[in-house]
Structure 1
Amino acid sequence: MDVAMARKEIEHIERHPKVVLLCNKVEELSGVSDIISSQVSAFRVLTKMHDIKEVLLESAPLVIIIAMPSVSASIELYRQLAQLGFLDYPHENILLCENKESGVGFRCCMKHVFSDYFVYKPMYENYRLRMILHNALLRCKNAHDTTHIREEHFGKIDESLKQLIDDAAVYHVDAQQTLTNARKNLEQAKGVNDIQTALMKELRAQHIDPLLDQLEKKLAMSIEELTNNLKNKQITLAELSALLIEKSLPETTRSATEYAAEDPSDKVIALTNRNIKIMVVEDNEIYREMISKILIDEGHNVEAVSSGLVAIKKLKKQKYDMIFMDLFMPELDGYNTTRNIRNINHCKNLPIVALTSNKNKELIRKWATLGLTAYIAKPSTKHSILKTVEKAKRALAS
């Protein structure tokens, strides 16, 4: 079989793929393609930039696997696609690299440039690739479910919480049945003679039955408390996002004229009609540049920094209209950076938008107590980013 035929067999032509493999040498990735195609039918290999852009735009694949000749080339391709706005939707990205660059691949994942990496030269652990792809698809499913919940707004309980509540109820029934069986067995138990049977009955009445009654009562109270606690935690990150971002925002961005009809204040008109000065605080270079480009393309004045400490220094010297800030950063995280910013006189009411993929609801709530204008889950969409800018303008005008 010649190379042309091999290439034809390897390239998949799925019109709306859920998984895409971006590379420039298809023949070197036949083993990888075979593994992926055996696991996911909606899969396609793409080598040309025109095809890549078209598929990303039309299909928004859940998982993007990149295998360029070097890690730096893969990063550059992903950066380029992000800057062009083709990746502004929830997705997973997996890096394929050679063994000699596995350390670089690991560092990229630790810095959240890629979701995961796999060494395909040499390819010893094909089951690991299957597991990486399986987990990536699961995470994507959860991300899309979260988006769906956010669109429906409030009153929802996520599936994991439902399961916990159901498990608590099942545990209660099982424990109750165990106690019932214990009582029944004790009642049926008899001694070897009438005297021993009488002693056992007296022991049950005075000690064992009261103990079981107390245990049953405590069990019921514990299960009730557990269930109530679970229900009290039913607000998901998606709902918190809706609370912070969408509740007070109009569905579409209105013009300055429409705002003027609603509120004739010159300040409102000016702020909703002008571009603002925005600081982006994000240690992930690709994500930092992607957000910056979206804002710059809208005409805003953007300054991007890679750490909270740098942000604090700049804020002490000059004023900004709003901040986009990551939660996890080296040296100083988003929460402590925000706490320090609030101590700066002209920053006490500065609109701050939280950026994070972290699912620790308590941590997000704690951060929100410092005053957040909005919360955006990573990866962020262009729509959500621009929507929060409009909200910040309204906050500044009020």
Structure 2
Amino acid sequence: MTGNSPNHAQRRPQVIIICDNTDELTGVIEIVEAHTDAYRTVFHWEETAELIVETNPPIILMAKNDVAGSIEIYTELSKQGLLNYPHKNILLCENKESGIAFKCCMKDIFSDYFVHKPMYENYRFRMILHNALNQVSGSNKSAQLQEAHFGKIDDKLRVLIDDVAQYRTKTEDNFAQTRDEIAKQQGHNDVQKQMLEQLREQHINPLMSQLEHQLTSSVELLKSQLKDKQVSIAELSALLTEKRVPRSVSAAQMQPAKEEPATPPKPVSAAQPAKPEVPKKMRILVVEDNEIYREMLLKILREEDHITEYATTGLEAVKLLKKKKFDMVFMDLFMPELDGYNTTKNIRTFKHCKTLPIIALSTNRNKELIRKWASLGLMGYITKPSTKLAILKAIDKVQGSYNTAH
């Protein structure tokens, strides 16, 4: 990706990104791509003006190297009368310019702003973009997303996550300000100055660093735990509207058959037994306590004509697997009553579950924890939120290794 050419040459974009280069916009562009194919990055004034005149893009992302540059370009476009149509304008900025960006939005210069350098709160940007697309399209729901899904997502939880993130930023700023104030304190003579310096180096600074680390770590853990409890509308929408990628088995069956001369079937050698037939319809158990993610996963599996059942807790899964046989299992790591690791440990004691293919699901990236779980025998691991393609690839992998021992 270069800073001199557009990342996407969509002729009639819904979203345009006005920037100096795309080197630091990778995460932003990936999120935009998840929402719409109709987007384009532009760099030069002539190109930007011409595109706006021709297409009137309903969403404009201002992502110049600094806020001043974004304001300058947007102001000039307005003065030229190029923006006299309904649109949403979102300002992207660095963390150090978030205060200026906030004031710009308060004065209605921009519809919203997002700190993308560093890009910590990508879910907030997904939500901003999702809402903007809905508003400009005049729709209250995303494409192919059922109205019922909206009520299932806890708005209070999402607000709480944003509050926690803002609290962490404020905490870091407060610590930095306190350090500056302490550093400014000076004694009245050389002895006092020396004592203050020793006090800062030996006691105050180490204590401040320890407190800051403990507090920010605790806030980050809280934010992570809150995120584990939600699947954003934007992520869910992107997954449900993703182009369907058929399983390799289904794709092979859809190919037109070539007419060949009839030949007698070859006898099966005793030394080479026939390979077991890969089931076209898999019996799949989904073990997941998050209702939104579970329903999304079940929808994808049913669209592929698989037979599905689900359990909402590890204990429920153990009871179900003790009575029934499945071809594979999608299992979450963190669940009430019994987590994924201990659920797997329990079902491996069942004779018919010794080699049952299990695909692990989790937002947790703790390598030691995953390695411990994998020691019980996992067919694969998918991080959440996951894509439809990742889920179908996991099924492909199981079908590719299928044998009668399952």
TM-score after normalising by structure 2: 0.42
- Of structures 1 and 2, the one with the larger relative CO (CA 8 A, separation 6+) is 1
Larger Cα Rg: Structure 1 or Structure 2? 1
Higher share of residues assigned helix: 1
